[in-house]
Structures are given as C-alpha cells and as structure tokens.
Structure 1
Amino acid sequence: MRTSSVRQKAQAITSTRVAAAGMAARRAFAREVARLAVRSLHAELCLYPKPGLVSPVDSGSHDDMDAGTFMRSMFALRHYFRKICLAGWDDAPFVQLKQLGIAAEAAMLKATRGINTHRGAIFSLGMLCATAGRARAQGTPLAPSALRAAMLIRWGEELAGHAAPIATPAHQSPAAGRDAVHIGCEAAGSRHGAIVPTSDAHLSNGLRVAARYAVSGAREEGALGLPSVFEVGLPALLAASARGASVTEERIDTLYTLMAHISDSNVYHRAGPDGAQIVRDHAERFLALGGTANAGWRARAIDSHQVFVRHRLSPGGAADLLAACCFVQSLARLDHA
C-alpha cells in the first residue's frame, strides 16, 4: 500500500510538472508569435520609399499621423496578438476571435487618439496569430501552405459567414474593379458578420467604399484564407529573395505587387476610382521595368511617393498585407528555430 501511495504521488507530481511545462511552452510560443507580429508591423513602418505611406522619413499623404502614431498603436496591440494566439491554441470559435479584435481596435484608437492606423492588420495578423496557435497545438507545420489550410479548416465556415453581402444603395452604380481584391480599413472590429445597411451613417470607411464601388472586401479576403497574402504578396517576397534582393528590395517589390493586384479601400476612400487607377498604373509600371532589379528603382519609387502625396493617395491596405506577408515568412522560420 505504501509503495502504491508513493507511486501515485510521484505520478501526480510528474503530471503536474508536465502540465506546467506545457503551459510555459504555450505561453512562450504566444509571446514569440506576438513579438513577430509587432516586428512585422514595424518592418512595414520603417520601409522607405513607399508611396504615400507613413515612414520615419515623413508622413506621406497623411497630416493626422506620423511614425510615432504607428509606434503607439503597435505597443497597444502587442497583448492582442498574444491573446488571440492563445485563443487559437485553445480552439476558440470565431466569435471569440472577433471579440478580441473589437477590444484591440478600441485599444488602438485609445492609443492613437481616434486615428485608424492598423484596423486591417488587426484582422489579417490577428487571424494569422490565431492560426499559428491552432497549428502549433495540433503539431501542424507553420509553413505558408499548412498555415492557410489550418485557418480554413478551423474557421473557414465562420469566415464565410463573416463575409456577408454588402447592400448597395439603389442610387449608387457599381464602379469598375469587381475582379480585384478590395481590402483596407474595413476589417476586424466593425460589425462583424453583419449585412451592411444602406445608410452610410454607421459604416466604417472600408465598408462604405465597398458598398459604393461594389468591390469585394476584407471579409471576402478572410473567407478565402487571405489570398492576397498567400497567392500574391508572399510569392513576390520569395521570388525577390530567390534572386538575391536585399530585405528592403524584397519588401518594396512585394508592396508594389500588392498595389498592382488589390483595390485598396484606403485609396478609394480618399480618391475614388481615379485615385485607384493612379496607384495601379504606378505599380504596374514599376513592376514592368523590373521592380527593384532595375538600377533606377529608388528614384522611381520616390517619384511615385511624390505623386501620391500630391493626390493624397495612401495604399494602407497594401501596407497591412505587406506586414502580413512578412509575418507569414517569419512564422515559417519558427519551425526551424
């Protein structure tokens, strides 16, 4: 009896230690994922020259924010990325992820005094953090294809429900761009999964733009497993890396590729279809000339920056997606760390 009792106590102690070690490993992983998410946002912020966007060099097309605004926003979001990673690890339903996103947006707006710096990133990077947690809990690799599959397998149906149709007011005619991915400032925190009312009074800028111009939105992007990240941006990032480009050149090429392929709600909100066409024209021309493989790429990027500032154009949706691409790239490296 005594031997049996000692054995049971030893087993209980061992079980407790294993559980504690597992919990510590889980928390350490979530902290590392959050660190990488914030670092990806910081990498996008520090990139220059990027047309119309805020950087440490200048505020681009914005007079209401600067690099310091973005830094405050990142600091406010760091806990969100950790919490949503842990929620993913715990197999949380999408409604719980949405609530975390809503709280994160409130924290962002408090830190920036009402300025939207990272609403799109709250959605895209948040879903990626949750997926990373779920994948690690299941022992799934963090390679891009496996990560996307894990997102769709666990939350695909709920994401599809989140991609509710947008009711377009009868007096407004659809504009060109139905075949483009439209993404930007409409994401997490704004009426998740609800059909958008025809009145503009209660819409975020991104949802208002989507309703007006009849282009698909961040909700549809999420329902498809972030195709702009996995099918557009990441291949451009990897292709630039394969040819020996510098980190800056990789990210510039990726940004321009995203600008050429998506319809950015930030641009539509500021300048409508005409502004969106300017963005697309500059991006396509830059890429047609070889992107950063062309020796004169920096001068062309600065020229685009000046044109975008004159027209008050800011492709913030593309910038958020660039950060997501950098994040996916860094998550893949965790498997080899």
Structure 2
Amino acid sequence: MTSREDEALAQAAVTALTGQLALAPKPGLPDPRDLAARRTRMDHSALLWSANALAPGLAAMAAAARRTGEPTPPLRMELGAIGRGTEHSVALAGGGHRGALWVLGLLVAAAALDPRAGTKDVAASAKHIAAHPDRRAPRRPSRGSSISAKYGAAGARGEARAGFPHVQRALDALAAARSAGADENEARLDALLTVMSTLQDTELLHTAGPIGLRHVQAGARGVLDTGGTATEAGREALHAFDAGLHALEWSPRGSAGLLAGALFLDSSPAAVGSRSGTSISARLRAA
C-alpha cells in the first residue's frame, strides 16, 4: 500500500516529465509544436497522457523502497518487476517514456529511502540500488545494452551505476542559468543542451551512429558557446540546430529522460528548501 508521501514523490516525478515535455524548441525531441506527430512521429498529447500512466508504478516503487529501507538486492529486483508492469501500463496508454521510467524510478525509490536527503545523496542512493543485478529480468539483451556493448557507451545502466553524472550536470546548468538571469524555460533548455553536449546517447547511436552522436554533441555545445538560449545568438543557433535534427530525423531521447530526472531532483523538498528556505516537513505537508 502506498502512502501520501509515496504518491507525492510519484506525482513530482510525473510533473518533472511533463515539464520536460512542455519545453520548446527541443532539438530533435517531441514538444508542443508536434501535435500532429509530423516531425517526431510521436503525438505530443499522447506523450502527455502516457506520462500520467507512470504515476501508480512510481508510487509503488517509492512504497517498496520505504518498506525495505535500504538499497538492497531484493529492492532492486522488486523495482525491476514494478518497472516491467509499469511499462506495460504505459504501452496501453500510448507508449513512450521507457528511458524516463528507468531514471525516475531509481530516483523516486532513492528519495523514498530518505525524504531528508539532498540531491547528491539521492543520486548516490540510486547508484547503490542500480549496482545490484536484477536477477528476475528477462535474459535477453535490450537494444540499449546491445548498442552499449557495440560502441562502448555507458548507456542507461552505466549512467545509473555512476550516480547519474548527467543529471548532476543538468542541475548545475539550471542553477548557473538562473543565476545569470535566464527565465525558467531558457534555464531548462540550457540544462538539456548541457546533457546533450556530452551524453553517449544509445538511442542516438542506434539511429545515427557515432557520426550522428558527434554531430548532436557539437550542435549542443555550439548553442551553449554562443551564450545559451537566453541570448539572441543562442536562440538563433538553437532554432538552426533543431531544424537540422528534425530534417535528419535524429532524436537524442536519452537526454530528455535525464533532464526529467534533474527536474525531479530540482523539485525535491531539500532542493526547494535550499533555494527558498521552505522546510522539508512543510513541503511534505503541502504535497
């Protein structure tokens, strides 16, 4: 049985995911401009609908972590089982978000282990959970694991087992952009581009190969090097980058899931409290 706190964590994760979906323009990724799925082949409204189908599974993951109390092998196996059931529910609701479910599921579970933990401590706990093998997982290689083996990319599992370094990079970029006077949409786009600039995205490697990956990384760095999306030059570079990726039909989906993870941690009681002085207990009561 889930508690109010578990459901609040799940809803915060869904809000982070829908917040990521609302950003525009996102280079090569679904955003509100894609209502007819002409460019990304994934209807944006369907993605929003299916994002909400994650909530019960994420709440169950939080409950499992709270009940277990430690990042143990049994918890890892339980999270895997819940995740596979949630993937099935999301597929019935329209599909998508598999990468985001992996990121958010681990972070939600880690946050449930200690509601008082800061963002770095939550990422460290997620790392400990991910370090354990899921012995009940199907014994067939996923596309992501196959691509990771072929190109030597860390992939989603490697990112988690390293403590989500790109989530931390996104959090740092958010803080830097806000401090520089960027509005929230600009700060989040800069965070997304920061992830894109260095992530070895296995989805992108699958569709575009190493040349495509380097192209995306260079394009993201180019926007940031012009001053980011808060500047006129940066906005022009962003639109050109976006148009180019849509024309090539290259989609850096891995970056989107990691940005959602960063937005979830950014909305955590500890993170919000450090910015606004709001206490953790007050945030949990208001959730």
- The TM-score bracket by the shorter chain reads 0.7 to 0.9
Match of 1:181 in 2: none
CA distance in 2, matches of 1:233, 1:68: 25
Structure 1 position 145, deviation (Å): 2.0
For 1:209-248, list aligned pairs within 5 A.
Answer: 209-230=147-168, 232-248=169-185
How far apart in 2 are the matches of 1:149 and 1:51? 30
Superposed CA RMSD in Å reads 2.2
The one-letter amino acid paired with 1:244 is G
- How far did residue 108 of structure 1 move? 1.4
1:61: how far off? Answer: 4.5
Looking at structure 2, the residues matched to 279 and 269 of structure 1 have their Cα atoms a distance apart, in angstroms, of 14
**Equivalent residue number for residue 144 of structure 1:** 119
**Where does structure 1 differ by over 6 angstroms across 4 or more consecutive aligned residues?**
none
Shift in Å, 1:52:
0.8
**Cα distance between partner residues in 2 of 1:282 and 1:241:** 22
1:317 aligns to 2:254 (yes or no): yes
Aligned-residue offset at 1:67: 0.7
Determine helix, strand or coil for the equivalent of 2:200: strand
Alpha-carbon distance in 2 for matches of 1:307, 1:276 = 13
Amino-acid identity (%)? 31
Q: 1:126 to 1:254 in 2, by over 3 A?
A: same
Q: What's the counterpart of residue 277 of structure 2?
A: none
Specify the alignment match of 1:197 in structure 2: none
1:333 has 2:265 as partner: no
1:156-175 to 2 correspondence within 5 Å?
156=128, 159-162=130-133
Matched, 1:55 2:55: no
Larger Rg: 1
Q: Amino acid of the residue matched to residue 24 of structure 2?
A: Y
Q: Distance in 1 between matches of 2:31 and 2:142?
A: 24
The one of 68, 71, 76 equivalent to 1:94 is: 76
2:278 paired with 1:299: no
1:267 is aligned to 2:204: yes
Q: 1:85 to 1:161 in 2, by over 3 A?
A: closer
Q: What is the rounded CA distance, in whole Å, between the counterparts of 1:236 and 1:321 in structure 2?
A: 13
Shift of 1:204: 2.9
> Is the 8 Å Cα contact of residues 61 and 313 (structure 1) preserved in structure 2?
no
Question: How far did 1:257 drift?
Answer: 0.3
How does 1:53-92 map onto structure 2 within 5 Å? Answer: 53-58=29-34, 59=37, 61-63=39-41, 65-91=42-68
Structure 2 CA distance for partners of 1:30 and 1:262, relative to 1, 3 Å: same
User: Measured at CA, do residues 60 and 204 of structure 1 come closer, stay the same or move farther in structure 2, by a change above 3 Å?
Assistant: farther
In 1, Cα distance between the equivalents of 2:223 and 2:202? 21
Give the 3 Å change call, closer, same or farther, for CA 245–255 of structure 1 in structure 2: same
The 1:270–1:151 alpha-carbon spacing in structure 2 relative to 1, beyond 3 Å, is: closer
**Residue type matched to 1:159 in 2?**
A
Deviations 1:113-146, CA, capped at 9 Å, x for gaps: xx4x11111111001111111113xxxx232122
Q: Secondary structure at the match of 1:31?
A: helix
Deviation at 1:151, TM superposition (A): 3.3
- The residue number in structure 1 matching 2:86 is 104
CA distance in 1, matches of 2:260, 2:106: 13
Structure 2 residue ranges without an equivalent (≥5): 69-73, 274-279
Q: Pick one of 214, 228, 246 that aligns with 1:277.
A: 214
Aligned residues between the structures? 267
Does the CA-based 8 Å contact 1:80-1:104 persist in structure 2?
Answer: yes
Deviation at 1:300, TM superposition (A): 1.8
Compute the displacement of 1:62 (Å): 2.2
The answer to whether the 8 A contact 2:76-2:134 is kept is no
Deviation at 1:101, TM superposition (A): 0.8
Give the unaligned 5+ runs of structure 1. 1-22, 165-188, 195-201
Structure 1 contact 51–60 (Cα < 8 Å) conserved:
no
